[in-house]
């Protein structure tokens, strides 16, 4: 925004999340991603004449679990509705969704409950400081549509893959409580995390398991009336949400600042070019002619089902972070990193327990440093997640014990961990096999020191002349000569003696 | 032995006693279709002779081995062309589905096959079941066996005509607002619309999903009861099908045969039934049926269904709204007719639907689309749902006082082909007595009650509480025996030719 922040944005999000069911919402076809086009279909999801939908109860259970995790009230009775529009990848000519009577209403989620460093960057604007509640208007169940392809050079020919038709989705709609692109990005990140923790959705935005549409308007700062909003569809990454909103807020601000009026329209985000392209204006807006789906009876959810879903809820990320901070003395930032996924948090806590059954704060901090540092670095280098890490949580504990016993140096331990992961072997085996055992044998170290002194006459002379900084370089040379296995304290002592003597 | 006009129950007894073979019965039915269907145009597809006979022989073998899968095994049947079949095309009487072959069988088709009935083909119908005369078929009208210049009623006119002319003893239709009962009345056969949810709709091409119900035709109440036993019951593939157990409907009739079916039964006659437009001959037939019922021990009293006058408006809003959505899938993209693909997506949609749908279907899609449109929804669709609930409550209240409701099935006997096509509203009035049962999800039956001076059949309709088919069938069976109007044979189609 230009100059003083004379304008503020009002943002609401609609997130579509694919439920982690094995089969589709209204038929028994698999939901697997990436199968050959039009291979995971049947008369029901193809909408063939005469076919009828039958609701997948597991999809309902997952949607209820998500609703509870987001503090929504689950309605005892909700109604499926048809959303009518013509499109080639919508084989029935309508999408089965929920409209006037959704599965759940009136929830909230907190953002800003962890320190800076989330992938959206440091908190700013409305998300700075205290945690902030974003109200959630509603959550409902619906089916996905298929996918159209317009191959380049294909003329006016289009291809349609209907595998995704009938894949179960929940749509989660916020109230217009967000004010900044970063806040919106953080909301999506927190939401993704909750859906992953509760095993409702795999959160894979690249494969379209989580998709965002945003509604945004701009108004003079301090105004209470809402400005004219636009909707941006197809924001399929957190970066896209932030970038799309930034671009659109800037555009609307320019229009308003120039005395113009924002036109209500729907825009499509082009992630490659980072621009929002107009899709349709208000005049062209669809009249979806929603009406209750006569093929499905009302969805009745009993208190027992809600209770069952409640019991299936794991500890949610925010609660887990709070506990890690309180019980282990971690910083909010560290707790945030370690709870990025439920699997990582589970891994971390298992490693702490294996290392120190009493789970003392010191042990927890020590394990945290290793998991956050070396473990995540190895995972990042291999572009893997914790599920693909070959070192068990108890392996981390074993490695730390070797360190504690002085059998391996801190530097060498990193190599040991890498080998444990690469070869799938235990800490001791990796240490022995890689020659990482710490050398505390004075004779061996003296020989190494002698050689370093002989090969580095200039630095030695500098140390003797009082340049202490160069001493550290020489210690490094000793460590290098022993491939990191030298006992650092002993090596330092012998090096000091060696330089002083000659 | 000639099999034409022989009831399914009689054929079943012949088969059980070894007096006849399925092969002979099926061969005779195919011969009769071949001889008479050119005049009637009841069928849109007829089974390959050798294939049908092969199936008949298979049923004969099973029976000989003591393994007949049901009492009706080996008996031929025709079904309306809106139930999907792998063996035949499914057109719904529409150009837009001409030649369409479904990759699966409807639930009822599976049940018929499992019970050993031999499917001989698919019958003509008003396009997508929208109509009351079978004149809206894209493939030409079906004619009434009693007068070839007259309509058989509709939309299941092909099935009604086929049973009336003795081509087959049994047929299936579908009833959304009277599409089985009204043609049964106009053709002089029995047609039973079961309670909503009694028969699986899986594989029935939808017209109005909350009203559609697959329904049997036969030459007697007992035969429709036997056929209902086979097709009724919960189906996990239809979420609106119901768990209620399926009684042995035909067994309930044995007791009814000697008059018990009507003794002590309380029959209601809605005051609102006697309105302008009710043909005096039809009214006379209803009065006579009431007298006969009274004589057989029933009590008759007036009831009131105050919201009945709103039935037609309510029905034509709900049915068309659902239809506008159900028919959206016929767009030229995936199957069926495709026109104008070279003119872009919108051009293809427009051309395909313009050329693929007939006038009545378009009229109803327009009406239904309007009824659901933003700004009109509450005034039309929303209000229609509210009135539907009132009609349902009217019946519930009436059924606190009476066991059955009796009245006309159709306001007039069969009308002439072309007589009402220019005036849709007059045509819609054909269903004034039948569509309330669909709105209220009640079972209803039409049984023959006599004939007009011109020799045209007249039916009476009886309605019952939801899932009270046993009582409905028992009373109808008893009334049928005393009215002596069932099983009449149109002179144009003698049984021995």
At A8-28, the pLDDT tens digits run: 999 999 999 999 999 999 999
Give residue A119's pLDDT.
35
Structure tokens at B256: 């009814």
Kindly state whether residue A110 falls inside one of the protein's structural domains: yes
Q: State the smallest CA–CA distance between residue B4 and chain A in angstroms.
A: 32
- CB atoms inside a 10 Å sphere around CB B269: 18
Nearest CA in chain B to A157: B344
Output the domain CATH number for residue B259: 3.90.1300.10
Query: In this structure, are A395 and A473 located in the same domain?
Result: no
Looking at the structure of chain A, the number of domains it has is: 3
Kindly state whether residue B476 falls inside one of the protein's structural domains: yes
Crossing angle between the packed helical segments A342-355 and A317-328, to the nearest 10 degrees: 20
B329, B351, B384 - which closes a domain: B384
Contact B236 A54 (CB under 8 A): yes
Query: In this structure, are A425 and A494 located in the same domain?
Result: no
- Assess B83–A contact: CB distance below 8 Å, yes or no: yes
H or E segment to which residue A81 belongs:
strand A80-84
Contact B325 A156 (CB under 8 A): no
Query: In this structure, are B104 and B61 located in the same domain?
Result: yes
Query: In this structure, are A222 and A281 located in the same domain?
Result: yes
Whether the Cβ atoms of residue A145 and residue A87 lie closer than 8 Å to each other? yes
**Which residues of chain B make contact with A54, given a CB cutoff of 8 A?**
236-239
**Nearest CB to A49 within list B102, B210, B344:** B102
- Nearest-CA neighbor of B146 among B134, B131, B163? B163
**Which residues of chain A make contact with B90, given a CB cutoff of 8 A?**
49-50
Output the domain CATH number for residue A468: 1.10.10.410
- Nearest-CA neighbor of A351 among A394, A295, A296? A394
**Nearest CB to A52 within list B239, B321, B349:** B239
Whether the Cβ atoms of residue A166 and residue A24 lie closer than 8 Å to each other? yes
Kindly state whether residue A298 falls inside one of the protein's structural domains: no
Query: In this structure, are B359 and B258 located in the same domain?
Result: no
Kindly state whether residue B73 falls inside one of the protein's structural domains: yes
Looking at the structure of chain B, the number of domains it has is: 2
Query: In this structure, are B181 and B242 located in the same domain?
Result: yes
Query: In this structure, are A150 and A92 located in the same domain?
Result: yes
For residues B484-489, give the mean pLDDT.
Answer: 90
Mutation to test the A interface, candidates B128, B213, B319, B325, most A Cβ within 10 Å? B325
A412, A433, A454 - which closes a domain: A433
Mutation to test the B interface, candidates A26, A27, A52, A86, most B Cβ within 10 Å? A52
Measured CA to CA, the distance from residue A140 to residue A17 in angstroms comes to 11
**Which residues of chain B make contact with A294, given a CB cutoff of 8 A?**
208-210, 240, 322
Contact A43 B103 (CB under 8 A): yes
Nearest CA in chain A to B372: A289
pLDDT digits (tens, 9 = 90+) for A152-193: 876 778 899 999 999 999 999 999 999 999 999 999 999 999
Crossing angle between the packed helical segments A57-69 and A303-312, to the nearest 10 degrees: 70
Give residue A125's pLDDT.
42
3-state SS of chain B is: CCCCCCCHHHHHHHHHHCCCCHHHHHHHHHHHHHHHHHHHCCEEEECCHHHHHHHHHHHHHHHHCCCCCCCCCCCEEEEECCECCCCCCCCCCCHHHCCCCCCCCCHHHHHHHHCCCEEEEEECCCHHHCCCCCCCCCCCCCCECCECCECCCCCCHHHHHHHHCCCCCEEEEECCCCCCHHHHHHHCCEEEECCCCCECCCCECCCCCCCCCEEEEECCHHHHHHHHHHHECCCCCCCCCCCCCCCCHHHHHHHHHHHHCCCCCEEEEEHHHCCCCCCHHHHHHHHHHHHHHHHCCCEEEEECCCCHHHHHHHHHHHHHHHHHHHHHHCCCCCCCCCCCHHHHHHHHHHHHHHHHCCHHHHHHHHHHHHHCCCCCCHHHHHHHHHHHHHHHHHHHHHHHHCCEEEEECCCCCCCECCCCCCCHHHHHHHHCCCHHHHHCCCCEEEEEEEECCCCCEEEEEEEECCCCHHHHHHHHHHHHHHHCCCCCCCCCCCCCC
Query: In this structure, are B316 and B445 located in the same domain?
Result: no
For residues B211-224, give the mean pLDDT.
Answer: 98
Q: Which residues of chain A have pLDDT under 70?
A: 1-5, 113-130, 154, 501-502
Measured CA to CA, the distance from residue A423 to residue A425 in angstroms comes to 5
ipTM score of the complex?
0.96
Contact A49 B104 (CB under 8 A): no
Tokens 């809600």 found at: A306
**Which residues of chain A make contact with B92, given a CB cutoff of 8 A?**
49
**Nearest CB to B240 within list A84, A93, A297:** A297
B321, B351, B384 - which closes a domain: B384
Structure tokens at B222: 């007992």
Kindly state whether residue B433 falls inside one of the protein's structural domains: yes
Tokens 């070396």 found at: A374
Measured CA to CA, the distance from residue A5 to residue A343 in angstroms comes to 41
Query: In this structure, are B325 and B213 located in the same domain?
Result: no
Q: State the smallest CA–CA distance between residue B230 and chain A in angstroms.
A: 20
**Which residues of chain B make contact with A287, given a CB cutoff of 8 A?**
373-374
pLDDT digits (tens, 9 = 90+) for A326-351: 999 999 899 989 988 889 999 999 99
Kindly state whether residue A299 falls inside one of the protein's structural domains: no
Give residue A126's pLDDT.
42
As a whole-number percent, the residues of chain B with pLDDT over 90 amount to 92
- Sign of the CA dihedral running A129, A131, A135, A138: positive
Query: In this structure, are B109 and B60 located in the same domain?
Result: yes
Give residue B258's pLDDT.
63
Query: In this structure, are B31 and B176 located in the same domain?
Result: yes
Q: State the smallest CA–CA distance between residue B410 and chain A in angstroms.
A: 27
Measured CA to CA, the distance from residue A363 to residue B319 in angstroms comes to 70
Higher pLDDT, residue A406 or B229: B229
Measured CA to CA, the distance from residue A97 to residue A143 in angstroms comes to 6
Measured CA to CA, the distance from residue A68 to residue A307 in angstroms comes to 10
Give residue A128's pLDDT.
45
The DSSP symbol for A75 reads P
Query: In this structure, are A237 and A342 located in the same domain?
Result: no
B368, B384, B400 - which closes a domain: B384
The DSSP symbol for A380 reads H
Query: In this structure, are B65 and B174 located in the same domain?
Result: yes
Query: In this structure, are A406 and A450 located in the same domain?
Result: no
- CB atoms inside a 10 Å sphere around CB A124: 14
- Nearest-CA neighbor of A166 among A363, A27, A299? A27
Measured CA to CA, the distance from residue A488 to residue A418 in angstroms comes to 21
CA distances from A471 to A439, A443, A453, B434 (A): 20, 21, 11, 103
Nearest CA in chain B to A290: B372
Say what the alpha-carbon torsion angle A454, A459, A461, A466 is, to the nearest 10 degrees.
Answer: -140
pLDDT digits (tens, 9 = 90+) for B16-68: 999 999 999 999 999 999 999 999 999 999 999 999 999 999 999 999 999 99
Contact B329 A294 (CB under 8 A): no
Measured CA to CA, the distance from residue B365 to residue B359 in angstroms comes to 10
Query: In this structure, are B379 and B427 located in the same domain?
Result: no
Q: State the smallest CA–CA distance between residue A308 and chain B in angstroms.
A: 24
Query: In this structure, are B238 and B313 located in the same domain?
Result: no
Crossing angle between the packed helical segments A469-481 and A488-501, to the nearest 10 degrees: 120
H or E segment to which residue A464 belongs:
helix A457-464
Query: In this structure, are A188 and A61 located in the same domain?
Result: yes
- CB atoms inside a 10 Å sphere around CB B165: 28
Strand A94-98 with A80-84, pairing: antiparallel
Mutation to test the B interface, candidates A286, A289, A300, most B Cβ within 10 Å? A289
Q: Which residues of B are catalytic?
A: 80, 155, 179
In the predicted structure, residue B487 carries a pLDDT above the cut 90:
no
Kindly state whether residue B422 falls inside one of the protein's structural domains: yes
pLDDT digits (tens, 9 = 90+) for B115-140: 999 999 999 999 999 999 999 999 99
**Which residues of chain B make contact with A297, given a CB cutoff of 8 A?**
239-240
Kindly state whether residue B138 falls inside one of the protein's structural domains: yes
Higher pLDDT, residue A121 or B332: B332
Query: In this structure, are A269 and A370 located in the same domain?
Result: no
Structure tokens at B448: 């023959």
Contact B372 A50 (CB under 8 A): no
Higher pLDDT, residue B430 or A124: B430
Contact A47 B329 (CB under 8 A): yes
Whether the Cβ atoms of residue B60 and residue B74 lie closer than 8 Å to each other? yes
Region for residue B148 given its phi and psi (left: phi exceeds 0; alpha: psi -120 to 50; beta: otherwise):
alpha
Q: Which phi and psi (to 5°) does residue B286 adopt?
A: -65, -45
The DSSP symbol for A349 reads H
Contact B325 A88 (CB under 8 A): no
For residues B355-375, give the mean pLDDT.
Answer: 97
Strand B299-303 with B266-270, pairing: parallel
Query: In this structure, are B105 and B52 located in the same domain?
Result: yes
In the predicted structure, residue B497 carries a pLDDT above the cut 90:
no
Whether the Cβ atoms of residue A178 and residue A112 lie closer than 8 Å to each other? no
| A-proximal residues of B, 203-242, CB under 8 Å | 203-206, 208-210, 236-240
Nearest CA in chain A to B345: A88
**Which residues of chain B make contact with A157, given a CB cutoff of 8 A?**
none
Q: What is the CA radius of gyration of chain A?
A: 29
Q: State the smallest CA–CA distance between residue B106 and chain A in angstroms.
A: 7
Strand segments (E) across A176-294: 210-220, 230-235, 265-270, 275-281, 291-292
Whether the Cβ atoms of residue B54 and residue B168 lie closer than 8 Å to each other? no
| Average pLDDT in chain B | 96
Query: In this structure, are A460 and A427 located in the same domain?
Result: no
Contact B90 A46 (CB under 8 A): no
- Nearest-CA neighbor of B84 among B113, B138, B122? B122
Measured CA to CA, the distance from residue B380 to residue A294 in angstroms comes to 17
Contact B239 A54 (CB under 8 A): yes
Q: How many Cβ pairs closer than 8 A exist between chain A and B?
A: 99
Q: State the smallest CA–CA distance between residue B160 and chain A in angstroms.
A: 22
Q: Which phi and psi (to 5°) does residue B349 adopt?
A: -55, -50
A413, A433, A453 - which closes a domain: A433
Nearest CA in chain A to B83: A50
Kindly state whether residue B284 falls inside one of the protein's structural domains: no
Kindly state whether residue B303 falls inside one of the protein's structural domains: no
Tokens 């008893």 found at: B478
**Which residues of chain A make contact with B100, given a CB cutoff of 8 A?**
49
A59 three-state secondary structure: helix
Q: What is the pTM of this model?
A: 0.90
H or E segment to which residue A243 belongs:
helix A238-257
Tokens 């393994």 found at: B67
Higher pLDDT, residue A152 or B322: B322
Contact A93 B331 (CB under 8 A): yes
- For the sheet with A291-292, list strands across it: A94-98, A80-84, A291-292
**Nearest CB to A49 within list B84, B321, B374:** B84
* Structural domain harbouring B181: 8-264+409-483
Kindly state whether residue A305 falls inside one of the protein's structural domains: no
Give residue A129's pLDDT.
54
Query: In this structure, are B417 and B372 located in the same domain?
Result: no
Strand A230-235 with A265-270, pairing: parallel
- Assess B344–A contact: CB distance below 8 Å, yes or no: yes
**Nearest CB to B329 within list A55, A92, A296:** A92
- CB atoms inside a 10 Å sphere around CB B467: 19
Measured CA to CA, the distance from residue B170 to residue B159 in angstroms comes to 8
Measured CA to CA, the distance from residue B243 to residue A372 in angstroms comes to 56
- CB atoms inside a 10 Å sphere around CB B293: 25
* Structural domain harbouring A494: 442-501
Query: In this structure, are A386 and A447 located in the same domain?
Result: no
A286, A306, A341 - which closes a domain: A286
Query: In this structure, are A409 and A336 located in the same domain?
Result: yes
Nearest CA in chain A to B211: A294
Nearest CA in chain A to B235: A54
Give residue A82's pLDDT.
98
Structure tokens at B23: 């092969």
Kindly state whether residue A178 falls inside one of the protein's structural domains: yes
Kindly state whether residue A447 falls inside one of the protein's structural domains: yes
**Which residues of chain A make contact with B367, given a CB cutoff of 8 A?**
none
Kindly state whether residue A291 falls inside one of the protein's structural domains: no
Contact B372 A289 (CB under 8 A): yes
| A-proximal residues of B, 1-20, CB under 8 Å | none
Give residue A113's pLDDT.
62
Region for residue A34 given its phi and psi (left: phi exceeds 0; alpha: psi -120 to 50; beta: otherwise):
left
Query: In this structure, are A193 and A235 located in the same domain?
Result: yes
Contact A47 B239 (CB under 8 A): no
Kindly state whether residue A195 falls inside one of the protein's structural domains: yes
Give residue B147's pLDDT.
98
């Amino acid at each position: 925004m230009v100059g003083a922040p004379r304008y503020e944005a009002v943002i609401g999000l609609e997130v579509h999340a694919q439920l982690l069911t094995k089969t589709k919402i209204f038929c028994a076809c698999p939901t697997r991603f990436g199968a050959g086009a039009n291979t995971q279909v049947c008369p029901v999801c193809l909408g063939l004449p005469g076919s009828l939908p039958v609701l997948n109860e597991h999809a309902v259970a997952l949607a209820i679990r998500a609703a509870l995790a987001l503090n929504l009230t689950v309605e005892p009775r909700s109604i499926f509705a048809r959303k009518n529009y013509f499109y080639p990848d919508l084989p029935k000519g309508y999408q089965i969704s929920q409209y006037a009577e959704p599965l759940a209403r009136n929830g909230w989620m907190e953002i800003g409950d962890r320190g800076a460093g989330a992938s959206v960057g440091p908190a700013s604007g409305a998300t700075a400081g205290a945690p902030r509640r974003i109200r959630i208007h509603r959550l409902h169940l619906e089916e996905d549509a298929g996918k159209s392809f317009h191959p380049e050079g294909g003329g006016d020919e289009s291809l349609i893959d209907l595998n995704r038709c009938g894949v179960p989705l929940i749509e989660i709609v916020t109230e217009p409580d967000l004010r900044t692109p970063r806040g919106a990005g953080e909301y999506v990140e927190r939401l993704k995390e909750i859906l992953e923790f509760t095993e409702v959705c795999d959160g894979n935005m690249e494969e379209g398991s989580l998709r965002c549409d945003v509604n945004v308007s701009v108004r003079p700062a301090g105004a209470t009336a809402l400005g004219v909003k636009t909707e941006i569809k197809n924001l399929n990454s957190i970066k896209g949400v932030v970038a799309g909103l930034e671009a659109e807020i800037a555009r609307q601000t320019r229009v308003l600042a120039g005395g113009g009026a924002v036109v209500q329209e729907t825009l499509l985000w082009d992630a490659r070019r980072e621009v929002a392209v107009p899709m349709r204006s208000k005049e062209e807006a669809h009249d979806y002619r929603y009406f209750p789906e006569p093929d499905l009876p009302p969805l009745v959810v009993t208190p027992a089902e809600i209770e069952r879903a409640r019991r299936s809820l794991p500890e949610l990320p925010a609660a887990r972070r709070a506990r890690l901070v309180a019980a282990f003395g971690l910083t909010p930032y560290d707790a945030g990193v370690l709870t990025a996924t439920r699997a990582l948090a589970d891994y971390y806590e298992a490693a702490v327990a294996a290392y120190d059954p009493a789970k003392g704060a010191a042990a927890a901090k020590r394990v945290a440093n290793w998991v956050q540092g070396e473990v995540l670095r190895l995972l990042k280098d291999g572009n893997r997640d914790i599920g693909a890490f070959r070192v068990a949580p108890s392996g981390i504990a074993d490695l730390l014990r070797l360190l504690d016993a002085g059998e391996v140096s801190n530097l060498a331990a990193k190599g040991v961990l890498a080998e444990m992961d690469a070869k799938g072997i235990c800490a001791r085996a990796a240490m022995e096999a890689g020659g990482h055992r710490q050398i505390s044998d004075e004779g061996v170290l003296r020989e190494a020191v002698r050689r370093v002194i002989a090969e580095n006459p200039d630095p030695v002379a500098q140390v003797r002349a009082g340049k202490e900084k160069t001493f550290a370089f020489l210690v490094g040379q000793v460590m290098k000569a022993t491939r990191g296995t030298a006992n650092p304290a002993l090596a330092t002592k012998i090096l000091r003696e060696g330089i002083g003597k000659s | 032995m000639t099999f034409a006009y022989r009831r399914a129950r009689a054929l079943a007894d012949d088969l059980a006693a070894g007096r006849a073979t399925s092969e002979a019965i099926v061969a005779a039915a195919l011969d009769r279709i071949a001889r008479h269907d050119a005049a009637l145009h009841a069928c849109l597809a007829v089974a390959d002779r050798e294939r049908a006979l092969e199936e008949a022989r298979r049923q004969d073998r099973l029976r000989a081995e003591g393994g007949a899968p049901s009492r009706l095994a080996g008996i031929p049947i025709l079904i309306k062309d809106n139930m999907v079949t792998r063996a035949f095309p499914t057109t719904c009487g529409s150009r837009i589905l001409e030649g369409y072959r479904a990759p699966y069988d409807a639930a009822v088709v599976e049940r018929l096959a499992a019970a050993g009935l031999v499917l001989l083909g698919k019958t003509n119908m008003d396009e997508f079941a929208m109509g009351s005369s079978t004149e809206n078929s894209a493939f030409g009208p079906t004619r009434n066996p009693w007068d070839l210049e007259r309509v058989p009623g509709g939309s299941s006119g092909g099935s009604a005509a086929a049973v009336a002319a003795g081509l087959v003893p049994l047929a299936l239709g579908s009833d959304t607002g009277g599409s089985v009962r009204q043609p049964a009345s106009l053709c002089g056969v029995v047609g039973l619309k079961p309670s909503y949810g009694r028969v699986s709709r899986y594989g029935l091409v939808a017209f109005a999903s909350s009203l559609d119900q697959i329904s049997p035709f036969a030459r007697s109440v007992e035969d429709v009861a036997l056929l209902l036993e086979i097709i009724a019951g919960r189906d996990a593939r239809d979420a609106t099908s119901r768990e209620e157990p399926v009684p042995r409907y035909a067994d309930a009739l044995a007791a009814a045969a000697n008059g018990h079916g009507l003794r002590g039964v309380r029959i209601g006659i809605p005051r609102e039934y006697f309105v302008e437009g009710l043909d005096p001959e039809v009214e006379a037939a209803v009065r006579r049926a009431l007298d006969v019922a009274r004589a057989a021990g029933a009590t008759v009293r007036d009831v009131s269904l105050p919201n009945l006058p709103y039935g037609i408006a309510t029905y034509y809003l709900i049915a068309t709204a659902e239809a506008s959505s159900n028919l959206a899938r016929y767009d030229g993209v995936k199957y069926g007719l495709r026109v104008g693909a070279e003119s872009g997506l919108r051009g293809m949609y427009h051309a395909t639907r313009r050329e693929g749908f007939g006038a009545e279907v378009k009229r109803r899609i327009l009406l239904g689309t309007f009824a659901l449109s933003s700004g009109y929804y509450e005034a039309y669709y929303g209000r229609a749902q509210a009135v539907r609930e009132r009609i349902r409550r009217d019946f519930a209240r009436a059924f606190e006082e009476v066991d059955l409701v009796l009245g006309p099935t159709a306001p007039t006997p069969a009308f002439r082909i072309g007589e009402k096509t220019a005036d849709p509203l007059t045509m819609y009035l054909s269903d004034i007595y039948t569509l309330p049962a669909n709105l209220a999800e009640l079972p209803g039956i039409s049984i023959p009650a006599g004939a007009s001076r011109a020799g045209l059949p007249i039916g009476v309709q009886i309605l019952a509480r939801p899932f009270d088919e046993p009582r409905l069938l028992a009373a109808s069976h008893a009334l049928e025996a005393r009215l002596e109007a069932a099983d009449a044979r149109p002179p144009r189609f003698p049984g021995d030719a």
